[in-house]
Amino acid sequence: MRYIGIFMIGLLFGASVVFGYFKFQTNSPSNSIPSGENTYQAGFDAARKLAEDSDVGGVFRTPDDVRTIFGVVTAIAGNRITIQTQSRNPFDDPALRDRTILVTTDTKITKTLPGDMEAFQKEMEAFVKKTQEGKGAGLTPPRPPQPIKTAVDVSSIVVGDTLTVTAVENIKNMKEFSAREIQI
C-alpha cells in the first residue's frame, strides 16, 4: 500500500511538471507563431518550418530546380497530356499534383520494352554468372541487360501509362509546360 501511495505522488508530480513545461512553451515569446497571427495558416507555416528544419527535414524539401517528374496519365487531348504526380513533400502545393504536358515537334518520346523474353533471360543468366565469377577478383562488374527503348509518337500514350517527363526549363511551380523527353 505504501508503494502505491509513493507511485501516485510521483505520478502527480510528473504530470504537474509536464503540464507546466508545455504551458510555458505555449506562452513563451519565442513561440514560432508570430503574435497577432493566431490563424490556421500561421500554425501550418510554423509546423512546416519546424518539419523542414528538423534532422529529417531533407525528406520534405523539394529542390529549387525541378526538370523531371513522374506521373500517371489521366487524360489526353491531342498534344496535351495530363498526368497526376505524387510529391514526396506533403507541403507542396496540391494544385500541382495534376500537370499538363505539351508535346511539341521537338519532344522525344520513347517506350521501354522488355524485348524478346528468352534473349533477355539468357542475358540475365550470363550477367549473374559473370557477377558470381568476378567476386573478389577485382574485376569491374558486368552491365546488366538493358531493356529496349523504342521511339514512338504521342498516339502510343494511353490513359493509365506511367510517364517520366523531362522539361527544358524549371517546372517546380508550373502547372503546364513543354516536354523535352517523355519515357513511357
| CATH 3.10.110 corresponds to the domain 65-184 | no
Instruction: Inform me whether the pLDDT recorded for 86 exceeds 90.
Output: no
Q: What pLDDT is recorded for position 28?
A: 47
Instruction: Inform me whether the pLDDT recorded for 73 exceeds 80.
Output: yes
Give me the residue spans of the domains in the chain: 1-28, 65-184
Instruction: Inform me whether the pLDDT recorded for 53 exceeds 70.
Output: yes
Amino acid at 31: N
Q: What pLDDT is recorded for position 130?
A: 77
DSSP 109-163: EEEEE---HHHHHHHHHHHHHHHHHTTTTTPPPPPPPPPEEEE--GGG--TT-EE
How is residue 57 written as a grid cell?
Answer: 527535414
